[in-house]
Every structure is written in structure tokens, then in C-alpha cells.
Amino acid sequence: MDPLPLVDQHCHGVLRDGPHDRAGFEALLTESHAPPAPGTSFFDTQLGFAVRRWCAPVLGLEPHCAPEAYLDRRSALGTPEVTRRLLRAARVRTFLVDTGLPGDLLAPEELAAAGGGTAREIVRLEPLAERAAAGARGADAFLAALGAAIGTAAGTAAAFKSVAAYRYGLDLDPRPPAPAELWTAATRWLASGRTGRLTDPVLLRHLMWSAARTGLPLQVHTGFGDPDLRLHRADPLLLTDFLRAVEPTGCRVVLLHGYPFHRNAGYLAAVHPHVYADVGLTLGHTGARAEAVLSEMLELAPFGKLLFSTDAHGLPELYLTGAQLFRQAMARLSTRFTGDGSWSRADADRVAALLAAGNARRLYGLDD
């Protein structure tokens, strides 16, 4: 049987070239910013084991071969061939690519070409603001340029994305900033030299509200990620009042990742018609536990509200592991739930297709 066709509703580019050594590869296997602790390796994680299990055969090696053998083979094949093989094996049909990360990464269309699919862009809000600020004279000009940039992006993007969880926390004031508050915050930020990353909570709220008003879906990072965030301030429940406030705009909000608060995200998707939840980073990083974690996501989240993604970044391995772990987890829980009579087989297949692609197609208005 054909593997489930996938829409990867949240992902990133992979390195055009590299990584060139084990340290560089390990750095992309983890959300940590630091080298592994002395005596340890990031290959010794669920994700590291999953890479050796799923990717080694695609490069012509035995599953679970030694990390050095894997990296040697990777070097011998070269980045473009490795990327092509792993992306093709992932069988992602549509890539929704957040282009807001730095580095020499494949652009969405290059990624799609390598993977044999199509791509649409997800526009990350904070870099839009950082770019608008770079050239602007004064708050009025900055805010006007930002508004124009959001409007332009809305014409082509599939969705917007906020990383307010990293920059401040989700315990933001839920309301749209009042004009004077916004103007003051913009002035303060510009006066500060605007060289750093945008972390002002008023401006972060303004970005979320501006995106919400475009009518495009708004993806919001929630749950785990790199150590820039304070995880307890990335619980999606902290968005409750924002979700209530934004509902009248018609904005649909997608709660990315969620782990270890994925049950909380499922609850929000269950009780708010405009809220969706995402698989994201979670299945790849939990590896052999993917079925268990996906099962938890499927407790309260309506089956029409949960979306597949890989959140892959840097390494094409993350596309293949994310895709295969999702397919395997979905197949296993379907077997489990149908085996005991809880679900019918027809329903299980329908739910799998919704999570894999159907929900994303409906939400983002993608052609089949």
C-alpha cells in the first residue's frame, strides 16, 4: 500500500551543504545550544536512535549502524544526494515552510523540488518586524512599513507564525495594543538600537493581532523548543484569553508542537472552534514513544483539528524520521484501537488521512 501522503504543515529548510563534522550534525539533532555533556552524545536520544533506524537504510546502510559509519556514508554521498534520498523517502507532498530561520538553507521551492512535492511559505512575524525596523525613521514609519509588509506577505503566504513564546512567553496581555501603547513601544524599541531580536511584549502582541486580521491562519509556537524559552511560559493554556479575544476576527490559530503540554493543546482545540493543534517537533524527538505521545494528542483533540508536521530544520533526516514516525504511530494506534473494537477500520483510515493531509488542506485552502 502507498504510504499516507503528507502535508507537512510546519517545517524549515535544510542545509544546502553540510554539516561537515560530527559536532555539526549532533548540534542539529538537539534543541540545545551547547555541545553534549562530557561523556554523552546527542545520538544517544530517541531522535538519534530514530535517525539511525530510519535513515541508515535509505543511505544503503544497516539500521542502527554506528554513528560514525552513518556520518562517513553521508559525507561520501554528499549533501545533495543525501537530501534528495531522504526527502524522497519521506514522501511529503506539500511543504509549508517557515522561512524565518537564518543559515544557508534550501528555499521552499528547492526543498519541494528535492522532495518531489510542492511548497508554500509560512511567514514568521518577528523577522518581518525586525526588517521593517531596520530601515525605518521613527515609530510611525516603522509601523506603516510593518503593516505593509504583513499585507504583502498575506497575499502569498499560507499562514503566519509567531514565536512570542521564545521572545517573551505566552503570558502576554491578550488584548490588541492600544495605539498609544503601540506607538510608545515602537519608539522605545527603535531608540534602543533595534539591533537585537524583538522581545517587546507590546510589539509581539501587535504582530499576532495584525496577522489575525489578515484572515490567514496563525501558527503559534507552544511547548518545547530550544533553551531560549522558559517552558512553563510556553504552555498553550496561557493563550486562553488571547484565543477568546481573537475569535471574532475569524482568525484560526494553530498551536504548534505543544509537548509536554500537548493534552492542554488538545483541550483548546476541543472547545474553541477556531483552534487547531499540531504534531510538530514532538514525534521526531520522542522517537520510539511516538505512538504513545500521538495517542495522548488524540484524547481530546477532535480528529478534524490535529495536523501533521515535522518541524524539520537543517537536516533532511528530520523529514524522514518525522514522517515515518508519524506514519508508524498512526498505523499502530489504528491497529490498537480497531483491534479492540473501539474504532472501526474505516474510521481509523479516515482519521489517519485527516491528520496526514486532509485537515491541512481544508485549513490552508490547499489544492489536492
Helix segments in the chain, DSSP class H: 22-27, 46-54, 67-77, 79-90, 108-115, 125-134, 138-156, 164-167, 179-191, 201-212, 240-246, 262-271, 281-286, 290-300, 317-339, 345-353, 359-364
Site for its own copies in 247-276 (CB under 8 A): 252, 259-260, 263-264, 267-268, 270-274
Tell me the helices (H) and strands (E) count for the chain, helix number first: 17, 8
212, 352, 118, 97 alpha-carbon torsion, rounded to 10°: 40
Q: Contact between 53 and its own copies (CB under 8 A)?
A: yes
Which of 173, 200, 347, 349 is in the footprint of its own copies by CB under 8 A? 347
Report the nearest approach of its own copies to the CB of residue 44 (Å): 4
For the bound state, the minimum distance from the C-beta of residue 212 to its own copies, rounded and expressed in Å, comes to 16
Which region, judged by CB under 8 A, interacts with its own copies, from 16-24, 100-108, 200-208, 298-306? 298-306
Stretch of 131-139, 144-152, 207-215, 345-353 contacting its own copies, by CB under 8 A: 345-353
What would the x/- binding string for its own copies be over residues 188 to 227, using CB under 8 A? ------------------------------------x-xx
* Contacts to its own copies from residues 315-344, by CB under 8 A: 336-337, 340-344
CB-nearer residue toward its own copies: 136 or 356: 356
How near is the Cβ of 6 to its own copies at its closest, in Å?
A: 19
Count of residues that bind its own copies according to CB under 8 A: 73
Question: Does 238 engage in binding with its own copies (CB under 8 A)?
Answer: yes
Length of the chain: 368
We find the least distance from the C-beta atom of residue 101 to its own copies, in angstroms, to be 17
Helix, strand, coil % over all residues of the chain, rounded to 5: 55, 10, 35
For its own copies, give the closer residue by CB, 108 or 223: 223
Cell numbers that stand for 65 in this block? 549502524
* Separation between Cα atoms, residue 29 and residue 25, nearest integer Å: 7
Coil, helix or strand for 111? Answer: helix
- Looking at residues 24 to 43 of the shown chain, list those that interact with its own copies (rule: CB under 8 A): 30-42
| Residue 39 vs 135, nearer CB to its own copies | 39
Distance, CA of 283 to CA of 136 (rounded, Å): 41
- β-strands 275-278, 118-124: how paired? unpaired
| Range 128-187, binding its own copies (CB under 8 A) | none
C-alpha cell at 291: 505512538
Which of the residues 349 through 368 are near its own copies (CB under 8 A)?
351, 354, 362
* d(C-alpha 239, C-alpha 267), whole Å: 12
Least CB distance from residue 138 to its own copies, whole Å? 35
